[in-house]
């Protein structure tokens, strides 16, 4: 089918992130024209449930008039102001106050950025800065996990533990280490319980720190749920054992709440759901329901005091972005947090999540699904060729990507992740009827994929 005018113009003008660029030249993009609630409409007129909240982010759905009004009012009052050189504005102050109030970790100050990548990049810089100020110039290495996703700047992409984010980008840069992922379904040894698996991962982390030298290891970063790495939930006792290792060696703990924050797991933060006690968190995405770019990190008192001393010595705090604390983004984020509280969005997630998780779990019986996993309103389906042996399809087959394409015809947008995982993460405002429609579409998609696999004899490919 020939490309439409918009598709052809897109192919000639836009470099698309996370896209097979060669394939894109042939197929063109899916063009989205408008959204309402949990639905979007594409240029072909198809009405689609947005089953991944855009990119894990449009928590309040599309066309939330209150957020549009908040942005419009702020644009009219003060469309731009920066925070450089001791300048400020009320939306940034009010948002920082609210974030300090609800933070799952003690926060002295809040630093604003524009994306999760920028937030995590800033975390690294501030940890280095703090340790220099504290007379620990060797304590600089950062430990992440295989399969983690923490962003795409040079530093945050080095934290990310996905091969495609490193290949031919000359990443990771030195000083970034990766320990094992908590993927019990894939990585546990035969007969190993979840608790035993967690013990082994904690021991592996301890040994890595010892090999590197505890005096050289500054921080450990983790998502409460590994999102882009496959929607991987922490196994039993995992974070308790990991945090004991970090405490043993005085290693700073960052929780990347970019996906899990603001109600996704049934609590305000994933740290609360899984018993994390981080030194700092990074937030973005649902902070503004994705209506305006904004991210933030929580700064503990020790880090602030170190930065204060460095500023006395150097004469300035030499970090920040033009759009740090942009007034329009802050106004939208404030209204978003107000809606979460006023409308008891967390209570709503808890009310409808049993319908989500029960339908998700039922898909574990499908011939193509090795494991169905999830909590709150986030889930993943790991596709396999052989359920008993947990044998994957060849990566070259691209089964998850095929399913995502089939799902469009069934009225659903979902995302294919590496390892043949289908991710589901609908807007938090979804209701039970819409959850049913979403999973009906997933079931139809899997049936079509199963017929394709059987017809072409792909299970033994």
Instruction: Write the DSSP assignment of 236-303 as a string of letters.
Output: TTHHHHHHHHHHHTT-EEEEE-TTTTTTTTSSSSHHHHHT---SEEEE-GGGTTTSS--EEEEEPHHH
Q: What's the first-to-final CA gap in the chain, in angstroms?
A: 29
Enumerate the CATH 3.90.1150.10 domain ranges in the chain, comma separated.
Answer: 31-63+344-460
| CATH node for 31-63+344-460 | 3.90.1150.10
> How many residues are there in the chain?
461
Mean pLDDT (whole number) for 116-139: 98
Categorize the per-residue pLDDT at 401 as very low, low, confident or very high, splitting at 50, 70 and 90: very high
Identify the pLDDT of residue 449. Answer: 97
**Residue 461 above 80 pLDDT?**
no
Categorize the per-residue pLDDT at 299 as very low, low, confident or very high, splitting at 50, 70 and 90: very high
Closest CA to 383 of 362, 408, 406, 366: 366
Class for domain 66-342, per CATH? alpha beta
pLDDT digits (tens, 9 = 90+) for 242-260: 999 999 999 999 999 999 9
Torsion angle, alpha carbons of 125, 128, 133, 135, to 10: -170
pLDDT digits (tens, 9 = 90+) for 319-373: 999 999 999 999 999 999 999 999 999 999 999 999 999 999 999 999 999 999 9
Enumerate the CATH 3.40.640.10 domain ranges in the chain, comma separated.
Answer: 66-342
Query: Whole-model pTM?
Result: 0.96
**Residue 270 above 80 pLDDT?**
yes
Tokens of 424: 């589901």
User: Which DSSP symbol is given to 45?
Assistant: -
pLDDT digits (tens, 9 = 90+) for 130-168: 999 999 999 999 999 999 999 999 999 999 999 999 999
């Amino acid at each position: 089918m020939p490309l439409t005018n918009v598709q052809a113009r897109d192919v000639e003008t836009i470099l698309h992130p996370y896209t097979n660029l060669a394939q894109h030249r042939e197929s063109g993009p899916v063009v989205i024209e408008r959204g309402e609630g949990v639905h979007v409409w594409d240029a072909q007129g198809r009405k689609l449930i947005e089953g991944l909240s855009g990119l894990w982010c449009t928590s309040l759905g599309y066309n939330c008039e209150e957020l549009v009004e908040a942005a419009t009012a702020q644009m009219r009052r003060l469309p731009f102001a920066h925070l450089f050189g001791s300048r400020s504005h009320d939306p940034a102050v009010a948002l920082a106050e609210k974030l300090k109030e609800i933070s799952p970790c003690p926060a002295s100050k809040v630093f604003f950025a524009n994306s999760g990548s920028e937030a995590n990049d800033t975390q690294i810089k501030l940890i280095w800065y703090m340790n220099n100020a504290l007379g620990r110039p060797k304590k600089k290495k950062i430990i992440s996990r295989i399969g983690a996703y923490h962003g795409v700047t040079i530093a945050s992409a080095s934290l990310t533990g996905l091969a495609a984010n490193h290949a031919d980008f000359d990443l990771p840069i030195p000083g970034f280490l990766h320990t094992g992922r908590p993927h019990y379904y894939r990585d546990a040894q035969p007969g190993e319980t979840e608790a035993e698996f967690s013990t082994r991962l904690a021991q592996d982390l301890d040994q890595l720190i010892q090999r590197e030298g505890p005096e050289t290891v500054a921080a450990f970063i983790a998502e409460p749920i590994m999102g882009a790495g496959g929607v991987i939930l922490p196994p039993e006792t995992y974070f308790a054992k990991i945090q004991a290792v970090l405490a043993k060696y005085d290693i700073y703990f960052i929780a990347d709440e970019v996906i899990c924050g603001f109600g996704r797991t049934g609590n305000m933060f994933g740290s609360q759901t899984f018993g994390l006690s981080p030194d700092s968190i990074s937030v973005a995405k649902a902070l503004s329901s994705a209506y305006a770019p904004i991210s933030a990190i929580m700064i503990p008192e020790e880090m602030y005091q170190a930065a204060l001393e460095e500023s006395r010595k150097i004469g300035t705090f030499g970090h920040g972005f033009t759009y740090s604390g942009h007034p329009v983004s802050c106004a939208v984020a404030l209204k978003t947090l107000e809606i979460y509280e006023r409308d008891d969005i967390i209570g709503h997630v808890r009310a409808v999540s049993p319908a989500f998780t029960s339908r998700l779990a039922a898909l574990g019986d499908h011939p193509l699904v090795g494991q169905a996993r999830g909590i709150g309103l986030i889930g993943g389906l790991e596709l396999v060729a052989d359920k008993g042996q947990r044998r994957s399809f060849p990566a070259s087959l691209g089964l998850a990507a095929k399913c995502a394409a089939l799902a469009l015809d069934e009225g659903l947008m979902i995302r294919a992740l590496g390892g043949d995982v289908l991710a589901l993460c609908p807007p938090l405002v979804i209701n039970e009827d819409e959850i049913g429609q979403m999973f009906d579409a997933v079931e139809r998609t899997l049936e079509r994929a199963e017929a394709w696999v059987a017809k072409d004899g792909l299970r033994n490919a």
